[in-house]
Amino acid sequence: MKRKWFALLLLSSCLALPATAQVAQEIDSISSQSQAPTAGMDGLVEKVNIITRTKTPTELPENDPVALDLGFVDIPGVSKTLTEGVTAKAYARYVSVDDMKIGQLVLSSVGKGNRTEPLNSDNFVAQFNLDQTALDPSSPITIEGDQPELVAALERLAAAEDISEDEKSEEEVADSGVGASEGKVGSNASSNPDASGYSTPDGLDVKKTPVISSNITTNGCEIRVDLDQLQAIQQTRVETVTDGTPEYSECADGSERFKISPSYAVCTYDENVETMKATAQFMHYYTDGSGNRQEIGDCQPDTEKVYDIVEDRNACSVYLDYINLKAVPQGKLVYTNHNGKEIPVSSCAASIEIEPVPMERTTEGCDIRDDFLAGKSFGRSKYIYTLEGQDWDTSCQDNDEEYDHSTIYKTANGDQVCEPIINRESGKVTLQSRVMINVHGFEIYRTPCTPDPLAKDIQSTTSGCQDPGKWSHNISAGQSIGSERFYYLLDGKQEPVTECQDNGVVYTHQQELTGWQRHDDKLFAYRLVTVYIEGVETLSGRYNVLTSQVLPGDPQVPYLYTGVGPATNGETYYEGCTRFDERDEVERYKRPDETTHKVIVGEATPLDLGNKCNVDVQWTAYVNTRFNVGSFNPYYGTAYNGSTRTYGPSPQCGMAAVSWAFNEARHQSGDPNGFSSSHGTTRAPYHCATSSTTATKTLTREDGEVIGDPLERTCTRTAQASSVGLGSDPDEMYQHDTYGTYPVYSSGKPGFPNMNVAKPECMSNWGWY
């Protein structure tokens, strides 16, 4: 009986300690225990992993422990009936280590209804990493604990349920000795005046002693909330039972107190989009002795936790308005709460900060989509826009353009689109085609080359291969081989399979000597031969395979020696107008073409080729001059009696003279029979006509060199006409009758000399011939 009483006093004194100080001390020992456990502990305690779960969302403070209620999920080796309705009492906190949040928890007791069984918290410890500082009921918590101790506590709770309430009360009073210890009831005496002033009444001196028992109880008392001290105080009162009749004192503050904490988990933020502020709200709560959460009042704002509401455009895509062709930036309103978590205020909507921007349609970067089953291709396009200086584009979508498929074997130029597949062994050719579309005048292929299911026959022909220039010619074998080609028919037209190739038809070569290829340095020659074939159907005559060429392997034909002698070597020199050709002493050889080849063996006497100069005479234009004698009358000045008279100027080309004689009958005297006679010579200068020209003689050698200095000579010729003549007319003045001749003036002038006759005469006289 006394041991139970002392145990109850010890438990009461423990409960009277400040809970936070006690638990903090226990939690602070977790790290040291986990790092340096005693050697004896592992041997004495059977540890198991106890799976628990918090009953309500609980925010863990940093460093200062908080009480919380846990429910059992699984205890290895323990029946579910023992844990049904049982609440595990625990204290937890988190600590920060190297930027990590470490959760720490100790289990202090288990309870069911109004009964609680204490546990040694040193034997029930959990330590775990935290992503957030709130414990979620959906997340299990594993506690490493002493299974036998926990099982014993659970069994005591279960056994207590089988004892009736009355028996339990009597046993507790009897065992604890409440009321028999000078009126002091545990640790509540300091705070409960009724309990501290209570003393067991003196026994009555009656025959039957009444049965009186006392107990401190919370029945009928509430928990008083003290927000100033942030404590919830469990009030108690004294229950006195006399012969089964209870009596109660007034309720007063007891020693069991519960810390009042703010809870943000049960309150939403006050989100004001007009002020763009989000204010955290909290509700006060505490955890009572049964582990139940008790909430105090309503949610209220925390003025120290006010956060800006901002627009987060990164969380939303740009809305593409294809009707108005606008790219509309979107954003949602968010804020970051006191836990550092981003909280959305609204869903994505048009941005309140950035205006929509226009979109432009383009096909660039969009491939055409093919639908081969439908036989069509579809154009595709996308929209581009510029937002905040950055270019964006949409995904490609079908537009309203359609293009019909065409199966193409040939291009518009007649060229095959694909190479056919040729099987020479089977003599078959398989055509290939491609699917093509026409996009705004441009032909675009949409498939690779695809073989047809059916093959065509390969045929041969010599058409187009009849030109012997394209045949194979084997000179050494002395034959040429005809050609043929293979083809197949496509749309009624021949499509070549091969180029022209040998067909096995042989034409024998014939030869014709056309000349010689000289090798004078070695004194031999090769034949130059024209190789030809005849009988080609497409030619009317022969076809020359080779023309004037040396055939491979043809023998050398040597030159024939004919003797030695001088021969000019092409070198020439002059001595004045004499030309000399230099000569060599040469050996002469007769080539196969009958020409002579000379080999120099020494020098020979030069060959004198004589005068090689030409005389070149150049004449100036003719210079013509005249000398005319003026008129005179020699008759009246005639000297008689045989004298000579001269008339005119000084002569230029000589003097003319005439002799005359006449008889004159004079009648002026009236004597008709009077006669006189006279004779004489009359001289006068000639009339002159002179022509002259100058000749320049140059001696020029055949090589163009002038030999000596040019010579000049003047060739002059003069023609004469006499200025005096003989007349026979009578003198009318004197009425003479003249018989005979007499001198008269002559005006007749000579012509110019013929210089074409005179020039050779001059050159001969000069010795130029």
Q: 702-734: per-residue pLDDT in tens?
A: 999 999 999 999 999 999 999 999 887 545 434
- Distances in Å between the Cα of 663 and the Cα atoms of 511, 645, 659, 738 are 114, 19, 14, 6
Q: What value, to the nearest 5°, has the Cα angle with vertex 728 and ends 725 and 733?
A: 110
The enclosing H or E element of 545 equals strand 543-549
User: What's the one-letter identity of residue 491?
Assistant: D
**Integer Cα distance of 680 and 645 in angstroms:** 8
How many other C-beta atoms can be found within 10 angstroms of the C-beta atom of residue 313? Answer: 18
Confidence (pLDDT) at 244 = 84
Structural tokens at position 358 = 């226009």
Q: Which residue has the tokens 């013509």?
A: 624
Query: In the 3-class helix/strand/coil scheme, how is 291-310 assigned residue by residue?
Result: CCEEEEEEEEEEEEEEEECE
- CA-CA-CA-CA torsion for 605, 609, 610, 615, nearest 10 degrees? -140
**Integer Cα distance of 92 and 70 in angstroms:** 11
For 105-159, write each residue's pLDDT tens digit: 999 999 988 888 989 888 999 999 888 888 988 788 999 999 999 999 998 888 8
Q: What value, to the nearest 5°, has the Cα angle with vertex 377 and ends 375 and 382?
A: 160
Q: Is 26 exposed, middle or buried (0-12, 13-18, 19+ CB in 10 A)?
A: buried
Confidence (pLDDT) at 636 = 61
Confidence (pLDDT) at 115 = 87
Could you tell me if 434 and 448 are in contact, meaning their C-beta atoms sit under 8 angstroms apart?
yes
Q: Which residue has the tokens 């510029």?
A: 386
How many other C-beta atoms can be found within 10 angstroms of the C-beta atom of residue 236? Answer: 26
Sort residue 148 into left (φ over 0), alpha (ψ -120 to 50) or beta.
alpha
Report how many helices (DSSP H) and strands (DSSP E) the chain contains, helices first: 8, 56
Compute φ and ψ for 625, nearest 5 degrees: -135, 155
Q: Which residue has the tokens 């987060």?
A: 312
- Distances in Å between the Cα of 318 and the Cα atoms of 244, 321, 359, 391 are 80, 9, 12, 13
**Integer Cα distance of 484 and 486 in angstroms:** 7
Q: What value, to the nearest 5°, has the Cα angle with vertex 523 and ends 519 and 526?
A: 45
Confidence (pLDDT) at 196 = 41
Q: Delimit the domains of the chain by residue range.
A: 2-160, 165-259, 362-404, 560-611, 617-766
Could you tell me if 226 and 209 are in contact, meaning their C-beta atoms sit under 8 angstroms apart?
no
pLDDT < 70 positions in the chain: 1-45, 161-208, 635-641, 663-677, 729-739
User: What's the one-letter identity of residue 428?
Assistant: K
User: What's the one-letter identity of residue 677?
Assistant: S
Strand ranges in 292-356 using DSSP code E only, listed in sequence order = 293-308, 310-312, 319-321, 326-328, 330-336, 342-344, 349-350
**3-state secondary structure (DSSP) of residue 157:** helix
Structural tokens at position 132 = 């957030």
Partners of 376 in the β-ladder? 371, 404
Could you tell me if 319 and 328 are in contact, meaning their C-beta atoms sit under 8 angstroms apart?
yes
Looking at the whole model, is its pTM more than 0.85?
no
Confidence (pLDDT) at 195 = 38
Structural tokens at position 360 = 């432009």
How many other C-beta atoms can be found within 10 angstroms of the C-beta atom of residue 282? Answer: 19
HSE-CB for 732 with a 13 A CA cutoff: 1
Confidence (pLDDT) at 637 = 52
Give me the helix-helix angle, 165-176 and 2-16, nearest 10°: 90
Structural tokens at position 576 = 């004045």
What is the Cα Rg of the chain in Å? 78
How many other C-beta atoms can be found within 10 angstroms of the C-beta atom of residue 352? Answer: 11
Q: Which residue has the tokens 């020479």?
A: 424
**Integer Cα distance of 47 and 149 in angstroms:** 10
**Integer Cα distance of 551 and 477 in angstroms:** 12
Could you tell me if 527 and 551 are in contact, meaning their C-beta atoms sit under 8 angstroms apart?
yes
Structural tokens at position 757 = 């006759």
Confidence (pLDDT) at 640 = 57
- Distances in Å between the Cα of 491 and the Cα atoms of 407, 431, 433, 437, 528 are 14, 12, 14, 22, 51
HSE-CB for 623 with a 13 A CA cutoff: 9
Compute φ and ψ for 326, nearest 5 degrees: -130, 145
Compute φ and ψ for 151, nearest 5 degrees: -65, -40
How many other C-beta atoms can be found within 10 angstroms of the C-beta atom of residue 440? Answer: 8
Exposure string over 168-197, b if 16+ CB within 10 A, otherwise e: ebeeebeebbbbeeeebbbbbbebbebbee
C-alpha dihedral sign at 47, 49, 54, 55: negative
Largest separation between any pair of C-alpha atoms in the chain: 265
How many other C-beta atoms can be found within 10 angstroms of the C-beta atom of residue 656? Answer: 21
Nearest to 224 by CA among 214, 238, 239, 234: 234
Could you tell me if 635 and 722 are in contact, meaning their C-beta atoms sit under 8 angstroms apart?
no
Nearest to 600 by CA among 614, 623, 584: 584
C-alpha dihedral sign at 409, 414, 415, 421: positive
**3-state secondary structure (DSSP) of residue 159:** helix
**Integer Cα distance of 333 and 347 in angstroms:** 7
**Integer Cα distance of 58 and 61 in angstroms:** 10
Exposure string over 558-590, b if 16+ CB within 10 A, otherwise e: ebeeeeeebbbeeebebeebebbebbbbbbbbe
